[in-house]
Structure formats: C-alpha cells, structure tokens
C-alpha cells in the first residue's frame, strides 16, 4: 500500500489543477473578501483612512508575493514566467506616494513559501485572479463619496478586456500542463496561504 501511494504521488495527473484550486480555496477566498477593507468600496462607505490602510495591506501582500515569484520564476516554464512582474506592487507604491505614506515601516517579511513549481503556481493563480476582482472594485471607486474625486487610482485601474484575456490565457496554460498530485497539493497550500495573507 505504501509503495503504491508513493508511486501515485509521483505520476502526472491529467485532471484539472484549476478545478482543484478553485474548490479547495473557495472558503478562504470568501473569508478574504469578507475581512478585506475593499468591501467598503463595494458598498461605497470607505473612508480615506480605510483606503490608505487597504493600500498598505495590499502593498505588503503584493510586494511579498511578486518578489517571491520574480526571484524564483526560472523554476517555471517560459509561458508562465511571462505573467510574472512587479507591476502590481509598483502601482500600489504610486497610490501610497499620493498620500505621502512612508513605505519604510511597512514590513516586507516575505510570503514564506518554498521555491517549487507547485507553490509558485498556486501563488500566481491568486495574484492573477485578484486582478479580476480589482476590476469590479475599480467600477465602484468612482461612487465612493468619502474619497476625493481628484484621486488618480493606479492599482485599481486597468483594461477589463486585457485582464480578462490575460486570465483566460493563464488558465489555458495551466490546463494544458500536467502536474503531479504532490504539485497540485502544494499549489493549493500556497494559494490558501496567499489568500490568508489578505485577512
């Protein structure tokens, strides 16, 4: 039994890594949405101070995860490497600079994930998926009366068609690749950890 289990762990699986990630992280995704300050953008009640805290929280997470992905991207195939950049954290920095917020005290302790294909895939899945949610938030920002109408939003801004096309492209790449059961489990663990960092 043990030998068979170990062997099964090593063989490649053709079932959907995307379906597994979606199902196993659904609860954590929902909790992140409920606890994140972005919910106050959706109901148009967010204050300027809450918005600043949201930007700082997002900067901590995106900076840590993007740095992790960028540092270890050579472990991934070239198609997946093309999705990795520091652009999201750079956009958040621009937003924070608007409020003259010092980034020095904003800790960058890293995300604490191991450097392997599964973990990188899970983290990338959450990062790219979050941009779709960001498009919804961007629509509501203009209706938040407590925020200055003169604010230029860099992070919550983007081309819906571009981000939707980008997400579909990522999904297609992941679906066409084979992953071991161990890699799928590792990807799920990493995705959950990234979701939890938004709590």
Bridge partners, 180 (sequence order): 12
Query: SS3 for 179?
Result: strand
Do 124 and 84 meet the contact criterion of CB atoms below 8 Å apart? Answer: yes
In the DSSP assignment, the letter for residue 110 is -
Long-range Cβ contacts of 25-29 (<8 Å, 24+ apart): 25/126, 25/188, 25/191, 25/192, 25/195, 28/191, 28/192, 28/195, 28/196, 29/195
* Nearest residue to 22 via CA among 133, 145, 126: 126
pLDDT values of the chain reduced to their tens digit, one per residue, 199 residues:
333 333 334 334 445 899 999 999 999 999 999 999 999 999 999 999 999 999 999 999 999 999 999 999 999 999 999 999 999 999 999 999 999 998 876 666 679 999 999 999 999 999 999 998 888 899 899 899 999 888 899 999 878 889 999 999 999 999 999 999 999 999 999 999 999 999 8
pTM recorded for the entire structure: 0.88
Domain 25-197: CATH superfamily is Heme oxygenase-like (1.20.910.10)
DSSP state of 155: S
Q: Where are the domains of the chain?
A: 25-197
Exposed (0-12), middle (13-18) or buried (19+): which is 159, by Cβ within 10 Å?
exposed
């Amino acid at each position: 039994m043990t030998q068979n289990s170990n062997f099964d762990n090593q063989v490649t699986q053709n079932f959907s890594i995307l379906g597994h990630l979606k199902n196993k992280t659904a609860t954590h995704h929902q909790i992140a949405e409920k606890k994140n300050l972005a919910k106050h953008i959706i109901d148009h009640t967010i204050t300027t101070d809450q918005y600043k805290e949201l930007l700082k929280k997002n900067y901590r997470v995106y900076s840590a995860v993007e740095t992790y992905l960028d540092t270890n991207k050579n472990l991934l195939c070239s198609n997946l490497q093309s999705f990795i950049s520091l652009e999201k954290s750079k956009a958040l920095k621009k937003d924070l600079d608007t409020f003259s917020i010092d980034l020095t005290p904003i800790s960058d302790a890293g995300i604490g994930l191991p450097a392997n294909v599964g973990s990188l895939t899970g983290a990338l899945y959450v990062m790219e998926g979050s941009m779709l949610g960001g498009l919804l938030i961007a629509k509501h920002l203009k209706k938040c009366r407590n925020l200055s109408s003169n604010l230029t939003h860099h992070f919550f801004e983007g081309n819906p068609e571009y981000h939707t096309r980008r997400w579909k492209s990522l999904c297609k790449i992941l679906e066409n690749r084979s992953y071991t059961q161990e890699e799928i489990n590792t990807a799920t663990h990493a995705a959950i950890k990234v979701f939890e960092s938004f709590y």
